[in-house]
Structure 1
Amino acid sequence: MAKTERVGGAARSWAVWLVLLAAAGAFALTMGVRQTMGLFLSALNTSTGLGVGSISLAFALGQLWWGLTQPFAGAVADRIGTGRVILLGVVLVAVGTFITPLMTTTAGLVLAIGILAAGGAGMAGPSVLMAASARLVPPHKRGLATGIVNAGGSFGQFAMAPIAIGLTAAVGWASAMQWLGVLVLLALPAVFILRGNANALAAQAAAASGQKALSARQAIAHALATPSYRYLAGGFLVCGFHVAFLATHLPGVIAACGLAPEFGGWSLALIGLFNIVGSLAMGWAVGRWRMKSLLSLLYATRAIAVLAFLLAPKTGPVVLVFAAVMGVTFLSTVPPTVGLVAKMFGTANMAMLFGIVMLAHQVGGFFGAYLGGSVFQATGSYDWVWYIDIVLALGAALVNLPIREARLARPAPAGA
């Protein structure tokens, strides 16, 4: 009997690791391609002659659409399973990225970057992938599980930036983008590994608790009526502003400092590399300290790092050190944010509820991407965007402090 239990436990452990690796791998490919698009902004501007402001609008709308798709993708995944949603998402990312070099108008870039690629990345994005992973592990290990999946996205950024630079040097920027679109299709095996688990595990959880599951409308109403959930979303909005500005405009910031273009690519790669460290460390820390305190610390660290960067001389080593520090905090906000949603509301509607928080994140992302281009076009400098970023980061550090970190009483479902 004991031997049978050990074999069964080992099989379950391997199954969990397989799911985590599939989710992390899918996130690595979709996030990696998406986060390297900023490297092509200058080439797109030169090719189309549309201006940095117009091209930034396509990137900004992509940030917003990526967030808008996630609550709906999460709701569908909660009901019919994860695999089908990921399949559609991966295909859309591939198509949108492949056709981007063929677009010559602002409307065309909005379609390719802002709707197809961004919408697909939202469907195969963190709300769906992390919710599927969180359901598979016990509560005290959810932080580490989401940290692993989040680190996958960071590794994708670290790996894809040098690949994009190398492809651009070898075949030109247009073919490089199209090859990145093809590479996204390597995420398709995750569709089969993750298929159906969201729906099945949610049903098992509801049966085990003896409670009827809340409808999507009831779950959303309950969450939006909770002040702590609103505080969490407000802080995450600031995270989106910061992340989108860096992902879209850091190469431009570095170019404005008079440094070689290679520093832009390696800075994005360092952000991805050090975010692996930050994500795994934060996944470990979530089980040991209050998640709201960890979030406040991360946002305060961003504010201090940006201020130090503005005051420091703009040399190559300074830029790379700044990128490394930003990498540690870049998406390490995700594990405690996911953990707080799961802790407050459980996992039955987690993909949808975290998707709504991600929508707030991407509203911030819209302004981070768009204001970066608009302010630079108007003033010839990114300084005012950095000032706004510092103020917002300090506000996010404060708004997370009143969050009540406890499981909330759930309302009675309809028909109970």
Structure 2
Amino acid sequence: MATSRLPATAWIIITAASLILMLAFGLRASFGLFVQPMSEANAWGRDLIGLALAIQNLAWGVIAVLAGGLADRFGHVAVLVAGALLYSLGIWMTAGVDTVWALHTGAGLLVGAGIAGTGFGIVLPLMARAVSESDRQWVLGVGTAAGSLGQFLVVPLVQQFIDWFGWAGALHAMALLVLAVVVLVMPLARLLKPGFNGAPNLADPETLVQTLRMARGHASYWLLTLGFFVCGFNLAFVTVHMPAFLTDNGFDASVAAWSIALIGLCNVAGAMLAGIISGKVSMKGVLIVIYFGRAVAITGLMLFPLTLTSVLVFSCVMGFLWLATVPPTSGLVAVMFGTRYMATLYGVVFLGHQLGSFCGVWLGGWIYETTGSYDGIWWAGMVLSLVAVALHWPIREARVSAPATEPAV
């Protein structure tokens, strides 16, 4: 990990991209804090608010594929600016919302589109292309850790905004804060051109259409996508419903906010370690360990008495495993197909993640309103984590240089 040899241009890209991810993911992780106050203000069930945030995750996934294609074709700067503007508009529209259509449009479609334009699918390929292949995995770990650090720093700040300004005022503050992404993009505008690939990673010989055709017929690629569905299911459910789950069990709202923040803090170490390790050992092996660890963590939360200690332990363990899936998952995409069209190909994998997010968020609200408890969705997440372990086992870590003959899953 000889970071000293990186050129100044690479450091500027890494720094600006990391700050963008801190803001984008810190604000996104804060939406769970609004489930209770919005529900009480409008007499809405958690299933309805959960549906809006599920739409957000689904829109994020679908639009991430389009955003990745636009970034690969026309460059990342325009996509990042458009994403920040849509993100801000969606949050502003959600402030003080009292109609369902506005909730689903603002917190759902617009915020989802905004995160798609400022999230991992756009920023991580940018970082990967700025460095050599030998430095790629630790850089992906840095970017992932930056998103988690944003979760640690921003979520308690948003809870403070709610205490100071009320939930609607807090959303107005968030809408203004996300515009800082536009400022962070400015130093990148003169460094990045359409088709930017970084000096060490010149364009791959395959065209985009040929690469997509190879990906479509490659079983390992689809197994990776299905496994990422489980990741999204776990993460989105916890992000959105953990605060309400804890307050339902008698904990103060500040404990709920710090639980989400602690998850982010612990994942700074988890993501960095995953990035470093997945550059040295089997990436699918790292993913298998992560998903098995999640199954163990959820089982412990369900079986042991729910106390402040058990909440903090779960937050630390789950946090360590939280976005640790991203460096090896995105790294496997790069290993299979190179970095030239990584934004598009990772966007497809990430769509699987967001389909899982949609299911986790919506089912969490629906099961709670139907049964009065989150227990069923917790156990579903545990079982799916074990399914993900099985899905990753047969993945082949090798470059696809010709049309795959193995059948698609």
SS state of the match for residue 288, structure 1? coil
Q: Distance in 1 between matches of 2:188 and 2:321?
A: 28
The corresponding residue for 1:6 is none
One of 28, 34, 40 as aligned partner of 1:40: 34
For the Cα contact (< 8 Å) 1:65–1:119, is it kept in 2? yes
One of 175, 178, 182 as aligned partner of 2:176: 182
One of 385, 390, 395 as aligned partner of 1:403: 395
One of 360, 375, 392 as aligned partner of 1:383: 375
The corresponding residue for 2:84 is 90
Structure 1 position 350, deviation (Å): 0.4
One of 3, 23, 29 as aligned partner of 2:17: 23
Whether 2:227 is the aligned partner of 1:235: answer: yes
One of 342, 345, 352 as aligned partner of 2:344: 352
SS state of the match for residue 172, structure 1? helix
Whether 2:185 is the aligned partner of 1:191: answer: yes
Q: Distance in 2 between matches of 1:174 and 1:155?
A: 25
Q: Distance in 2 between matches of 1:119 and 1:324?
A: 30
The corresponding residue for 1:310 is 302
Q: Distance in 2 between matches of 1:297 and 1:206?
A: 30
The corresponding residue for 2:271 is 279
Structure 1 position 29, deviation (Å): 0.7
Whether 2:196 is the aligned partner of 1:201: answer: yes
Structure 1 position 13, deviation (Å): 2.4
Structure 1 position 145, deviation (Å): 0.6
Q: Distance in 2 between matches of 1:180 and 1:173?
A: 11
Structure 1 position 362, deviation (Å): 0.1
Give the share of equivalent positions with the same residue, in percent.
Answer: 36
Q: Could you tell which deviates more after superposition, 46-55 or 362-371?
A: 46-55
What pairs up with 1:215-254 in 2 under 5 angstroms? 215=208, 217-254=209-246
Structure 1 position 131, deviation (Å): 0.5
Q: Could you tell which deviates more after superposition, 282-291 or 197-206?
A: 197-206
Structure 1 position 50, deviation (Å): 2.0
Structure 1 position 12, deviation (Å): 5.2
What pairs up with 1:126-137 in 2 under 5 angstroms? 126-137=120-131
Q: Distance in 2 between matches of 1:103 and 1:408?
A: 48
Deviation string 1:258-292 (CA, Å, 9 cap, x unpaired) is: 22221110001001101111111111111111000
The corresponding residue for 1:67 is 61
> What letter corresponds to residue 392 of structure 2 in structure 1?
N
Change (3 A) 1:269 1:208: closer
One of 254, 267, 275 as aligned partner of 2:259: 267
Structure 1 position 388, deviation (Å): 0.6
SS state of the match for residue 102, structure 1? coil
SS state of the match for residue 53, structure 1? helix
Deviation string 1:242-268 (CA, Å, 9 cap, x unpaired) is: 000001000011112222221110001
The corresponding residue for 2:133 is 139
Q: Distance in 2 between matches of 1:208 and 1:394?
A: 38
Deviation string 1:287-318 (CA, Å, 9 cap, x unpaired) is: 11100000000000000010011011111121
SS state of the match for residue 130, structure 2? coil
Q: TM-score, normalization: structure 2?
A: 0.94
Q: Distance in 2 between matches of 1:364 and 1:208?
A: 32
Q: Distance in 1 between matches of 2:335 and 2:20?
A: 25
Structure 1 position 201, deviation (Å): 3.1
The corresponding residue for 1:3 is none
> What letter corresponds to residue 232 of structure 1 in structure 2?
L
Q: Distance in 1 between matches of 2:389 and 2:164?
A: 44
SS state of the match for residue 98, structure 2? coil
Q: Distance in 2 between matches of 1:204 and 1:10?
A: 16
For the Cα contact (< 8 Å) 2:137–2:327, is it kept in 1? yes
Structure 1 unaligned runs (5+)? 1-8
Structure 1 position 204, deviation (Å): 6.8
Q: Distance in 2 between matches of 1:194 and 1:405?
A: 32
Deviation string 1:147-173 (CA, Å, 9 cap, x unpaired) is: 111111111111111101111111211
Q: Distance in 2 between matches of 1:214 and 1:298?
A: 34
> What letter corresponds to residue 190 of structure 1 in structure 2?
L
One of 120, 125, 129 as aligned partner of 2:119: 125
Q: Which has the higher helix share?
A: 1
For the Cα contact (< 8 Å) 2:22–2:148, is it kept in 1? yes
For the Cα contact (< 8 Å) 2:130–2:199, is it kept in 1? no
> What letter corresponds to residue 15 of structure 2 in structure 1?
L
Q: Distance in 2 between matches of 1:243 and 1:277?
A: 17
One of 273, 276, 288 as aligned partner of 1:296: 288
For the Cα contact (< 8 Å) 2:75–2:196, is it kept in 1? no
Q: Distance in 2 between matches of 1:207 and 1:68?
A: 28
Structure 2 unaligned runs (5+)? 405-409
Q: Distance in 2 between matches of 1:18 and 1:206?
A: 17
The corresponding residue for 2:407 is none
User: How much is the aligned-residue C-alpha RMSD, in angstroms?
Assistant: 1.8
